[in-house]
Structure 1
C-alpha cells in the first residue's frame, strides 16, 4: 500500500478524476470510476486493473477495506470531502472511490468457453438495463457479454452501479455485432433472439450447447442488421395482460432457463 494525500480540488490529478464522469474523458483516458465500498472491494478482489483508491481523509480507510489496503499494491490516496464530492456522482457522496483502467477483454476470451452462454446487447440504451443484464449474465455463469453499437456506455457510473460488481467477473467485449457474431457462428454457437412474432416458445428450445442470446433496444428490438445473423427466434409466453417485458427481465428469464436446462 502506497500512501499519498491531496486536499485541493484544483489538483491536476483530481481534475482528471472528475473528468471520468463524462464519456469523452473516459474514452480518452481509458479509465473509469467506481464508487462506494462494495464496488471498490469487488474491483480489488476480482483483479481489476485498479490505478488508485481515494478515500475521505476525515473518515479514513473504510473498515471493510482495511485488509485490502494492507495487501494491495495500488496507491491509496487520502482526499478532502470536497474532492470526493467533485469526483463522484452519487447524491450522497461515498467515502471511497477507485479509478480503474478499462477491460482489455477480447472476443477470443468469450469463445474459449465450451458450450458458452453469452448475452449480446444490440442498442440497449438504458444504463440500468445494461448493468442489470451484465449482473444476470454473471449470476447465470455466462461466458461473457457482448456490447454492440448504440448501447449505453458500460462505464457510465449508473451502469457500473447497476452491475453490482459483476462488471469485474466476466469478459465484456464492445464492438460491431455484424463483425463479432459471424465469428460466434464459425465457433458453432447458436444465435437466439426474442420476437413477438416467433412461433417457438422459449421453454421448448434447446440452450444446452453454445448459445448467444441477442437482446435488442427497449423500443425497437433487434436491429435488421443484427437480426440477419440470428439462427432462431423465440417468444416468452405472457398469459397476463402486460404487452411486453423490460429487456433486463426478458434477459433474466432466458439466461436462467438456459441454466435450468444445463442443470438437468
Structure 2
C-alpha cells in the first residue's frame, strides 16, 4: 500500500498523535526513526503500522525483522507525508504507529527484592526519558510515573528513552494508590534530600527498594513525602546547589547496581 498525499485522512490521524489529546483518544502513539522502530519490533510491541519513505526504500535493518512480524500494516509514503508526521526538523525515513499497552504494575510489585525508580512531578520529557534509559541500563525492575510527570508517549520522552521504554515496565499512575501497595510488599521507599543523614554511598541498597525523585523546582510533593521511609543525600564537593532529576536518579541507580551486584542479564 502507498500513501502520497499529506492531506490523506490517515496521515492527518498519524500527525495528530504528536498531541496528547489525540494519543489518549486513539490509545496509540507514534515512534520515529530506524532505532526506535527496531527496538519496538524486537520487543514485540503492539505495532499497528509501519510507514517508510518510498524514495529511500525500506531500511535494511528492518527488512529481516519484518519477516517475523504478523498482522502489521506496512505502508510506503512520500517525503511530504513523513515531514507532516515528524516532530523534528530533520525527519527520519521511517515511523511506526504503536498501540498503547497496559504495563504490568502487578509484575513490578510481585518481584522479590523489587528495584524500582519512582518519579513524582518530573515535568521535563527529556529528563523522564533519560531516567527510563538509566533505569534500564542499571537493571531496575521498572519505572513508575506519578501524576504531574511528562507524558511517557510525548515524542521527546520517547526519543530520550532511546528504546529503553520497550525493555522494562513503565507504569503511569497515582502514587498515593501505588506506594502503599509497595510498602505492603516490603519495599523501602527512599528519596533524596539535602537534609538526608545517610549519603547515597553509605546507604544500603539491598532488598526491595523504590527510589523517589521529584521535580527540580519543588522536589517530591508533600503527599508523596508522607510515604517516604528514608531520605538520603547525594554528596557534592563543588558549589552547585543541586543536580537535575535525571543526573540524581542515574547516580542512585548506578550506586544501587554496584551494591546489588546486578550483572548484565
Does the alignment reach a TM-score above 0.5? yes
2:35 equivalent to 1:38: yes
TM-score, normalized by length of structure 1? 0.97
2:45 equivalent to 1:48: yes
| 1:57-105 C-alpha deviation (Å, 9 max, x unpaired) | 1111011111112222211110111110001111111000000111311
CA distance in 2, matches of 1:46, 1:236: 34
Structure 1 unaligned spans of 5+ = none
2:196 equivalent to 1:204: no
TM-score, normalized by length of structure 2? 0.96
Find the partner of 1:231 among 226, 229, 232. Answer: 229
Find the partner of 2:107 among 93, 106, 109. Answer: 109
CA distance in 1, matches of 2:126, 2:243: 15
In the other structure, the counterpart of 2:177 is: 179
Alignment size in residue pairs: 261
Give runs of ≥4 in structure 1 deviating > 2 Å: none
In the other structure, the counterpart of 1:242 is: 240
Find the partner of 2:147 among 146, 149, 161. Answer: 149
Deviation at 1:231?
0.4
In the other structure, the counterpart of 1:7 is: 4
In the other structure, the counterpart of 2:95 is: 97
> SS in structure 2 opposite 1:253?
helix
In the other structure, the counterpart of 1:164 is: 162
In the other structure, the counterpart of 1:57 is: 54
Question: For the aligned residues, what is the CA RMSD?
Answer: 1.0
CA distance in 2, matches of 1:161, 1:30: 19
CA distance in 1, matches of 2:221, 2:80: 44
CA distance in 2, matches of 1:263, 1:148: 28
In the other structure, the counterpart of 1:140 is: 138
2:57 equivalent to 1:28: no
In the other structure, the counterpart of 2:123 is: 125
Deviation at 1:204?
1.3
In the other structure, the counterpart of 1:69 is: 66
> SS in structure 1 opposite 2:50?
strand
CA distance in 1, matches of 2:20, 2:117: 23
Deviation at 1:140?
1.0
CA distance in 2, matches of 1:109, 1:145: 12
| 1:158-204 C-alpha deviation (Å, 9 max, x unpaired) | 00000000010111111110110000000000000000011111111
CA distance in 2, matches of 1:44, 1:159: 19
Structure 2 unaligned spans of 5+ = none
